[in-house]
Amino acid sequence: MIKKFGFLLILILVVLSVVLFFRDNNNGKPHNKDYVDHIEPPREEKPSQSDQNNNLSSESLVSRVFLNSKEGRVPGTSFVAGQTEIQEINHEWGNAEKTTTSEKGNYAHYPKYDVTVGYHEQLIFDVRSFHSELQNIHLKDIKKVKGDPDEVRYYKGKTHNQIILVYHVNEEYELKWILPKPSDREPNPRVHHISVFTQISNKDHNQGDNYEVISDMSLSEKIGQMMITGISGTKINQNTKTLINKYKVGGIIFYGDNLETPQQTVHLLNQIKFENKHNRFPLLLSVDEEGGRISRMPGNITDLPTNKEIGAINNPHFSYEIGTLLGKELNEFGFNLDFAPVLDVNSNPNNPIIGDRSFGNNPKIVSKLGIQTMKGIQSQNIVPVIKHFPGHGDTSVDSHLNLPKVNKNLEDLNELEIIPFKNAIDNGAEVVMVAHILLPKIDAAYPSSMSEKIISDILRKQLDFNGVVMTDDMTMKAITNHFDIGQAAIESVKAGSDIILVAHDYNKILSTIDALKTAVQKGEIPEERINASVNRIIQLKKNYNINNEEVEDINIKELNQSIENVLNKEMSSSTTNNQSE
């Protein structure tokens, strides 16, 4: 009996030892393939040696992260960038708690698992881990294990000022370590999160057929495409040549003091096209030609009616004919982009800037006539620009002189000002100009031309606009009285603008270009954000077959005859309608 009891006791002790051995080695967790790459927390065997033990554990964690990144994964998950589809993750973890959209694609957030994944269509391209155990890693730990990164980027937002260490772990994957930017107070910050990224989505998302050419462009060339600039004088000069050849600007805006006579105007535009022939992309040659009092065309060209007069007639076909004439005028001179039609609803009779430039105070009439004018301009292969989003009709200050303020909320705008813009976008508008208006009930910090809430949230998301967004002239006092022009341009691009319009002052143009370039180099603006804008601009130029072909001298007499035929026809029609009534 005693022998049996002794044997049983020995057996129990052996079994207990085996259990304790495997428990210690698995840290009390059952073996599960999903936890194979779980990052074990650093252990503190003796308080007096805690720092030394943490350093050893941190270096081990760094090695584990790099090992996983070579396979397109972050520790603790089995999802592979470039291979796993989003529905696989949702099947395993359930639907994401939140999904956001960026220039790269959609991002699904799984805070329960400390993971965010970026995906385009169905395929994931970015896996990010925010696991708390990563915070045991410091900046010096990463560099001690793997040396200096291949690239250093920076990101600065409203709540973050970060440094990004990028390691090209192989041809397929990048590993990014994101930490607070080192400072005198904290020279060795802890890791905030990591990202394993593959380029698979960049080629597919928002790049279309333009991806290869964009990838071949320098940063300077990309930023140049995002600029429409003014020039001085009636002849091409050295500053204009520098803007074209060195800075490779995307377009030029012309004013009355550039355009002296029809012959001189044609010659100037031809010279500019010739100067640009060796560049990769043709120029947007733009002008404000609305009809009525806003006309830049030189020579004795017959006046077109104001939008207010067209609104009083309220004939959509006549609006289309006027748009066609505007396009024809610009074509004859060699322009290819018109800052028209105006879609502002003139709800404030004391408005100092819109007035008779508007089709009226009824958003339905403004929509109907504005859309037809836009389509008439398009029929002549001229790019129309609808303006001034989200609506300049209720302002009491001229934005050329100071910053107007409109105390309306989004609901108010949706009931009036936004209606014509929404309808025009639904009918094929491809370029929207954003006004310099402060709407404190929507964004108290920035005017609409610099506001993410207005450009990205309202124009892009609410109205589903995927075309080119451009600012009104950034040299207007609505901006320069309150902001540094370079910083204003940075905020505008961050908010979602594709083209920055700097219509006056050569030095302001250069400082704006330099500010944007520096912002990208420092990581304040991601280069992917720049790529998305450049893609839209290139595609617009392709859509209209814009080129450097020179035009011949204009026939003013023939142009006037076309204008008078349309005006006489409408006058005759109006007379007949009045008599029949």
Catalytic residue ranges: 400, 472
**C-alpha dist (Å) from residue 261 to 285, 298, 301, 406, 557:** 17, 5, 11, 40, 14
Q: Give the separation between CA 354 and CA 398, rounded to whole angstroms.
A: 9
Q: Give the separation between CA 256 and CA 287, rounded to whole angstroms.
A: 9
Of 261, 292, 381, nearest in space to 331 by CA: 381
**C-alpha dist (Å) from residue 34 to 16, 23, 31, 64:** 27, 18, 9, 15
Instruction: Give the helix ranges, DSSP H, for 147-210.
Output: 200-204
Q: Is 100 exposed, middle or buried (0-12, 13-18, 19+ CB in 10 A)?
A: exposed
* Residue burial 11-30, b: 16+ Cβ < 10 Å; e: rest: eeeeeeeeeeeeeeeeeeee
Which residue is it, tokens 């560099």?
A: 143
Of 180, 149, 142, 165, nearest in space to 60 by CA: 142
Q: Using an 8 Å Cβ cutoff, are 93 and 76 in contact?
A: no
Describe the strand order of the beta sheet including 115-120 as a list of residue ranges: 98-101, 106-110, 115-120, 123-129, 193-197, 174-180, 161-168, 151-156
**Cβ atoms within 10 A of the Cβ of 577, count?**
11
